[in-house]
Amino acid sequence: MQKISLAIHGGAGTILKELMTPELEQEYTRALNESLQAGYVILEKGGRAVDAVQAAVMSMEDNLLFNAGRGSVFTNKGSHEMDAAVMDGYNLSAGAVAGVKNIRNPVELATAIMQHSNHVFLCGTGANEFALNQKIKMEPDEYFFSQFRYDQWKAMRDGDSYALDHSNAKVEALMKDKKFGTVGAVACDKNGHIAAATSTGGMTNKKYGRIGDSPVIGAGNYANNKTCAISCTGHGEPFIKAVAAYDVSCMMEYKKLSLYDAMYEVVNKKLVAIEGEGGMIGVDAAGNIAMLFNTVGMYRAARNSHGLEVVKIYGD
């Protein structure tokens, strides 16, 4: 019988139990469980993997705990620029969006691009125009404001540095027990079709319209029924250079590695060699799940129809 599976992540980085309050840990656990439920119920009802990953990611985009959608970080200009991607392993269809503003759920826009345009990747004002055409839900600037994000940005805005929420020492005093990150999901449905989705608000204080790996097909997000569905999180530049998500697929296809072994090669060897900090989640068409990272922790959760159900934060 085909195994249905779903895995999600909410970012990887310096996530230490000693810096986490019981209350905040409970909030993260609840948020990850909500995302897992949002996607898994679709798979349980016989729905498609691509719909499940969108639902799981939208749940995290709506939660201020995560650096995506509503919880996105501030750019150097004090605004929000969001990126997202989705890919269907059944037919290799994909949609991606970068540098959009006021979009409540960027992953929903990425899916609309995949399904209702002749393109794969849209950015900036053009992507926002397409969103209006597709009646994608918009929100005012105030919707994306959080005091913590604002304080974090204020501490950095007068300098030239930028930061992943969960790794830069300069903002460690502000971070304390609050760690945030890119979100993503991968799934395998009852037909053995797989899909991946990823969404992010990028780096705090980013300039020049910087875009990381999250919306780049093959770098931060990839899905192919022949091999795997992958969603990445971490320092985007090395993931782009490594074409990290596609590299996992290549090693499965050409070297015949298992999902876990291919992901291990990329996360713990290839990325480490170019100082690429982060992690990834993956699933194959048999419903196998792997969640690997080379950082201290990664917000992650997984569930399948064979009894697996796990929610983890730290590197245990």
Residues 269-281 have a mean pLDDT of: 96
Q: Are 281 and 289 in contact (CB under 8 A)?
A: yes
How many angstroms separate the CA atoms of 150 and 74, rounded? Answer: 7
CB 116: neighbour CB atoms within 10 A?
12
How many angstroms separate the CA atoms of 126 and 100, rounded? Answer: 9
182 is catalytic: yes
Cβ neighbors of 277 (< 8 A, separation 6 or more) are 12, 13, 167, 234, 235, 238, 271, 294, 295
Q: Which of 144-153, 213-222, 306-315 has the lowest mean pLDDT?
A: 144-153
Q: Which of 80, 108, 78 is nearest to 96 (CA)?
A: 108
Q: Which of 230, 205, 233 is nearest to 217 (CA)?
A: 230
Q: Are 17 and 306 in contact (CB under 8 A)?
A: no
What's the pLDDT score for residue 151? 74
What's the pLDDT score for residue 86? 98
What's the pLDDT score for residue 146? 80
pLDDT of 172 higher than 50: no
Q: Which of 255, 257, 202, 215 is nearest to 111 (CA)?
A: 215
Residues 116-123 have a mean pLDDT of: 97
Average of per-residue pLDDT values in the chain: 91
Find residue 222's DSSP bridge partners: 230
Q: Which pLDDT band holds residue 168 (cuts at 50, 70, 90)?
A: very low
Crossing angle for the helix pair 49-61 and 106-116, to the nearest 10 degrees = 150
pLDDT of 232 higher than 70: yes
pLDDT digits 0-9 by tens, 66-87: 999 999 888 878 778 999 999 9
What's the pLDDT score for residue 79? 76
Q: The CATH number of the domain where 265 resides is what?
A: 3.60.20.30
What are the tokens at 174? 């502000």
pLDDT of 160 higher than 80: no
Q: Which pLDDT band holds residue 150 (cuts at 50, 70, 90)?
A: low
pLDDT digits 0-9 by tens, 15-68: 888 878 899 999 999 999 999 999 999 999 999 999 999 999 999 999 999 999
Residues 223-231 have a mean pLDDT of: 98
Q: Are 98 and 109 in contact (CB under 8 A)?
A: no
Domain that holds residue 151: 5-314
What are the tokens at 26? 């409970």
How many angstroms separate the CA atoms of 210 and 202, rounded? Answer: 8
pLDDT digits 0-9 by tens, 98-111: 999 999 999 999 99
pLDDT of 204 higher than 80: no
The domain tally of the chain equals 1
What's the pLDDT score for residue 154? 66
List the catalytic residue out of 182, 204, 227, 233. 182
